[in-house]
Structures are given as structure tokens and as C-alpha cells.
Chain A
Amino acid sequence: MHISASSRQRGALAVLAMPAVLFTAMMVVFPILYTIWLSFRTAPLGHATQFVGFANYAQLADSPQFWNSIKVSLTLYVISLAMQLTGGTYLALLLFQAKRMPAILRSILISPFMVPPVVVGMMFLIILDPSLGAANWVLSLFGIAPSAWLASPEWVIPTVALIDTWQWMPFVALIVLGGLQSLPPSVYEAAKIDGAPPRLVFWRITLPLLLPTLATAAILRTVDLLRFFDIIYVTTQGGPLNASDTLNIYGFHIGFELFQFGYASALAMTLTAMVFGVVLALNRLRRAIDW
């Protein structure tokens, strides 16, 4: 009798939850399925779509612009992630040891990632303007030749990576700080008794113990970095000479400027697969190094 009542209760709960579940499924599943469906079709403006098999995927495999966008995305990903993990860890160590005003320091620290990326892009567009911006003016005070920054095919990716690092390094630092605060004090006490120097403590104890935290931070940043869009859209739109044309920017350009929705959907699915693949790999790595 009791079991039956519980089962009835579960059934009622399931019925009550059904609208929310269906709504969520529609909002998440439908766009993905629709994009997959569209990636196998051509969609001329104002006319019905037509099935083209794998033609859109074959087109991207043949496209030098697609391979350029993969190269740009991965380069930007590696440079940005390396800078953010290294800088974020260093910043977290400083904060961990800060004795004065830690709350104020943390508030200042989180301010960059509170700023919308579009505002960040606009801000740096003005600062880094080669003719009117403050960055070259500061360089000139030290007798250094002006740089084209975002307008240089060689420097655009490091510059964009720097902008993104300015915004997101504090986010990584906060995650790492949380990790540092949860490390077991007994290990450090033992190291102190053994007389281990601070550098050795960092390399042999802190860093290995922080690896799962760093892997989590890397996963969170990977999702954003591989889909890099907003700052580039505001500052360079993929230029100059496609030097900052990430896969997301390229797909957007094909879809919403040239209106080739079928091909753009194939690009979007490729990007999704790429993000899933890297995140899954990092997740497995995180599990392997967990302690």
C-alpha cells in the first residue's frame, strides 16, 4: 500500500515536471537537430531547401578559408589558455598570501569579467588604435616604434589573446584560489618540518595538487575560447587578411552576411564537434589526475 502510494506520487510528479522537461528538450534539442538537418541541405534565399548529402562538409574540407579558421582558432586557444592558466595561477598565489584587504583585492579582481565582452572589445579598439590610441602613445614615451596591434596580420592573434587574458585571467585566478584554499594543510606542515624551500614546495606539492583545479579551469575556458567570437567581431571582424578569422567568425560570416545557411550549419556542427571533443579529452584528463 505504501509502495503503491509512493509510486502514484512519483507518477504525479513526473506529470507535473513534464512541461518543463519538454520545454527544455525543445529549446536544447530542436536547434541542434535543426542545424544538423540544415547542414545536409542547401537553403537558397526565398526558396525551399534541398537535400545535398555531404556536399556542405565536402565543401568545407576543400576550403582553404575553413582550414585557416581551424588554424586560427587553435592558435588563439593555445596561446590564450596558456597565458590565462599561468597568469591566473600566479595571481591566485599572490592573493592567497595577501594579508591586507583580501576582500577589496578580490572585488577589484573580478571586475574585468563583469564587463561585457563587447565593451571590452570597444575599449581596446580605442586604446590600441594605431593612430589615435593610448597604447602607441605610451610606447612613444619610451622611444618605441608604434605597433599596428589589431591591424597587423602577425600581431592580431597575440593581441586578441592578451585582451581575452586581461578579461578572463582573474576568473581563472578565483578558481585556482578556491583550489589553494582547499589543499590539505598537513602536507605543507610536513614539508615545513622537512625544511623544503618554497620553490620546491610549489613545484612538488602545490602544483600537482592543483592540477585537477587547473583542469576544471581549462575546461571552462576551452568552451569559450574555441567558440571565440565577440571581441574579434567588435575589433577586427576576422581581419586583417583573415588572420583572426576563427571558425565561429567564419561561420557567422557565411551564415549571416552571405546567407549560405546550409554551409554555415555544416561549419557550426564542425565547431560543436570540436568543442565536444576537446572538452571530453580534458575531462578524461581531469579524472586521471584527480586525487
Chain B
Amino acid sequence: MTAQYARRVLALAVSILLPISAHAASFNWQKYKGQTIEVLVDNNPIGKVIATNADAFEKLTGITLKVDIFTEQQMRQRLVTVLDANSNQIDVFMTLPSREGAQFAKAGWYTDLTPMTGDVSSSYDFNGLSPALLKAATINGKLTSIPMNIEGPVLYYRADILRKCHVAVPATLADLELAAQKIKACDPSVTPFVSRGLRDALPYTYSAFFHNMGGQYIVDGKSGLCSPQGLAALKLYGDLLRQFGPLGVVNYSFYQISSLYRDGRAAMAFESSNELSDVMQGGARLGDTGVALLPPGPGGSHPTAIDWGLAMSPYSTHKGAAWYLIQWATSPDMQAKNQLAGIAAPRASIAKDRAVQAWLKAEPVRTQWQQAVSELATTGTSDVGYPIVDNPESRQYIGDAVDNVIVGTKTPAAACGAADASLNTLIAKDGG
């Protein structure tokens, strides 16, 4: 009986594994050998992974890979110049669906990747990619990009300072302000709270406050920045940074925030999960930092979760080879490598990878970080600014309103009132 059972199990295992290994063996990575493709990437840790591993891709596929690497703004400028000229010079490019997704889709600058998702190696596991991010990248029924990472703002806090000041980790948005007050009274040498104040960068962090407060950017076809929830979010974010933030916070983006926190001069920093490696650089913060999501507010918990994706130019003349690059760069293997560099993978399965498990266990802060990232992957929203074609311009109006409140030149009502007028024009234009 036991032997018969063992034979059945073996037969079942063979029947499951055989087609997979046969498919893996049959997937021909060298199909496009000899072709040359060009990829345009951002000079951030996510883009650098492609540049540093280009040799491995070339060895695997026989495809020659030219990597163009620029800072974000310059990358976008080059991309627009090339695509607007209908040039086939770039085959694959990095894109931020939450920012330019609708804008580029309207311009016809994304190849629909849906039909290609069937042409994958058996280890690729397309269904393992974050459904929320795939949904965000699907515009008008077309899959515009494949997620390379998942990221969102998280709260880095100094557990030792909170302990010293008898402050619990904030459990609600209201607690956050109380915690900042207590830290300011207890240790004036440290900045109680820091987040983004730079106009075009702050919607990334502000959106989490706005959504947790219960705000929605568009309500019945009109801007909701000035709704009661929006006003409360504007007041809280503005007050936190004006009263408890560093001097000159209106010029702060990720670089200044990470530097300030890493230097031990901030007790709480609300900044991107991607900044983990920068924040921990040098190791000074490894032992005293905790990571959590922004605490929920009256509207619940709606963390911001976005991704960088890899997209294919519609003008590419090497679409097969281009898809191989996208497939390779977003494969579980590559994303496990990324995770070890602090780039959160857009696949839940990566957290179970043996090397990743060892990396997470090495420092408690990494486990907390992973928990926060996993949570934002399941509950997050990708609305950074208004979900319209002119999303980049909408961010500017949000940034202006918030900065006016931080600097104190306008009340929250006056600041968002002025912004709402411009935002309603953008929304109407989008509808038209």
C-alpha cells in the first residue's frame, strides 16, 4: 500500500514537473541572437540593475544591449524627443505609470504587452506580479508596462528617541502630531518630523495623508483638494512640517530627507521605501530605526504604492528581442537580486526566496520594512496626484497649495481654493 502510494506521488510529481522542465528547456532564449536593442533607463538603483547586469543578458540571449542611462528628468526629455519623432532608436524604456501613464498612452507611446505575456519562460510566473500594479499599468485595456519594483512612502522612526521621550509609535494620524510635539519638547536638538516639501516632489508623500484623511482627488468630476477631508490633510501636513520640520523644508526631497535622517538629526522621516539602503548607509541607523506605514486616519489606511515599469516603444523594430529584455529584467531571479539591494520586488513570492530570507533576518529593520512594503502592496493606491492625462501638471498645483500652507503665506482654505480652480480646468480638459 505504502509503495503503491509512493509510486502515485512520484507519478503525480513527474506529471507536474515534466511539462515545466520541458517548457523551460524548450524556451529558446537565443531566438533573437545577433539583434541589437537600446534601452533607456533612469539613473536610480532600479535602472542601474539593468546597466550592471547587461553582460548577463547578452550572454543569455546573444542580443546586444545598449543601455542609455540618465537622471529622471533628462531621461524623460530624451524619451519624449525620440518618441515624438516616431523614431525607432529606443526599444525599451522605464516609465512611471502613476505619473505619465495616461499621458503617454494618449500619445500612443506604449506597445500593448498583453499578447507577449504568453511568450515567457516557465520560471517567469507572470501571475506572481502584483495584480494592483498590473491593473494600474493597464490603460484602456492595454498592458503598458511590466512592474520592476514596488515602492511607497513609509515612516522611518528612531525607536531610541521615541523610547527616551516616552512616545509610542503613532497609531493614528492624530498621534503623529502629538508624537512630534512630545519629541520637540523632550529633545530640541532633533527634528521631530520630516517629509517632502519640494513642490513637484511632495504629492508623493502628501497623497498618503490625503487618502488616509478620507480625501479623494476627484469627486463627481470636480477637484476634491478642498473637501473637508482635503482641508484637514492640508492643515495636518502643513502644520507638521511648519512646526516640527527642518528649516527650509520647502526645498526638501528624498536626498535631503535621507541625509538628515541618516545623520541622526530627525526622529521621524516619511520617505520612500526605496530609500532604505541610503538611510542605512554607513550603518549608524541600522540598530535604532523602525519602519512602519503612515498611521491610518479617519479615512482608514490607503498607502501610496507605485512602481517603475518597463515599457516597449511602438516604433521598436525589434519587438521580440525587446520583450526578452523586459521578461529578463522583471523575472523572479532579477527581482530577488534587486531585493537584496533594498529594491522591493513587485512579487509576494520573493520574500520567500532563501537568500532574501537570510537578508531580511540579518537586521530587524529589514523585516519591518518588508512588512510595510507587503502591506502597501495589498492595500496601496497609485493615485499620486490626479488620475488624469495632465497628472504632472496636477502635481504642481497640489505642491503649490501645500507649500503655501507650510510657508504660512496662505490658510489651507485659501491655498487649496486657488489650486482647485486650476485643477478643475485640468479635469474638464481631460474629460473633453
Contacts and interface: CB of A to CB of B under 8 A. Distances in A.
Interface of A: 44-47, 129-132, 136, 146, 148-153, 235-237, 239-242, 256-259
A146 B246 CA distance: 11
A46 B83 CA distance: 7
B73 A152 contact: no
Contacts of A44: 107
A240 B242 CA distance: 14
B184 to A, nearest CB: 15
Contacts of B159: none
B200 A131 contact: no
Nearest to A128: B248
Q: Which of B84, B247, B248, B393 has most A Cβ within 10 Å?
A: B248
A257 B83 contact: no
Contacts of B390: 258
Nearest to B252: A151
B25 interface: no
Contacts of B73: 256-257
Given A45-B104, A241-B403, A132 B263 contact: yes
Contacts of A47: 107
Nearest to B265: A131
Interface of B: 73, 76-77, 80, 83-84, 103-104, 106-109, 191, 197-200, 246-251, 256, 259-260, 263, 265, 390, 392-393, 396, 400, 403-404, 407, 409
B247 A151 contact: yes
Contacts of A136: 247
A129 B256 contact: yes
Contacts of B77: 256
B250 A241 contact: yes
A153 B248 contact: no
Contacts of B199: 237, 239-240
Nearest to B80: A259
Q: Which of A45, A136, A153, A256 has most B Cβ within 10 Å?
A: A45
A239 B197 CA distance: 10
B296 to A, nearest CB: 30
Contact of A153 (B108, B259, B407): B407
B260 A131 contact: yes
B332 to A, nearest CB: 34
Nearest to A125: B251
A49 B198 CA distance: 33
Contacts of B104: 45
25 contacts: A44-B107, A45-B84, A46-B84, A46-B108, A129-B248, A130-B246, A130-B248, A131-B191, A131-B246, A131-B247, A132-B259, A132-B260, A132-B263, A136-B247, A146-B247, A148-B248, A240-B250, A240-B407, A241-B250, A241-B404, A256-B77, A257-B73, A257-B392, A258-B390, A259-B80
Contacts of B392: 257-258
A46 B109 contact: yes
Contacts of B248: 129-131, 148-152
Contacts of A240: 197, 199, 250-251, 403, 407
Contacts, number: 82
A241 B197 CA distance: 11
A160 to B, nearest CB: 13
A242 B407 CA distance: 12
Contacts of A237: 198-200
A98 to B, nearest CB: 39
A256 B71 CA distance: 13
A229 to B, nearest CB: 14
Nearest to B410: A241
Contacts of A129: 248, 256
Contacts of A132: 259-260, 263, 265
A259 B390 CA distance: 10
Give the top 9 A-B pairs by smallest Cβ distance, nearest first.
A46-B107, A151-B248, A130-B248, A130-B247, A45-B107, A240-B250, A151-B251, A148-B248, A131-B246
Q: Which of B247, B251, B393 has most A Cβ within 10 Å?
A: B251
Q: Which of A47, A131, A148, A239 has most B Cβ within 10 Å?
A: A131
Given A46-B109, A131-B246, A258-B392, A239 B260 contact: no
A89 to B, nearest CB: 34
Contacts of B393: 258
A136 B265 CA distance: 15
Nearest to B105: A46
Contacts of A151: 247-251
A241 B109 CA distance: 33
A85 B107 CA distance: 49
A257 B396 CA distance: 11
Contacts of B265: 131-132
A129 B265 CA distance: 13
A119 B390 CA distance: 33
A236 B253 CA distance: 11
A241 B265 CA distance: 26
A239 B80 contact: no
A235 B76 CA distance: 20
Nearest to B249: A151
Nearest to B81: A256
Nearest to A156: B251
Q: Which of B83, B249, B260, B407 has most A Cβ within 10 Å?
A: B407
Nearest to A254: B393
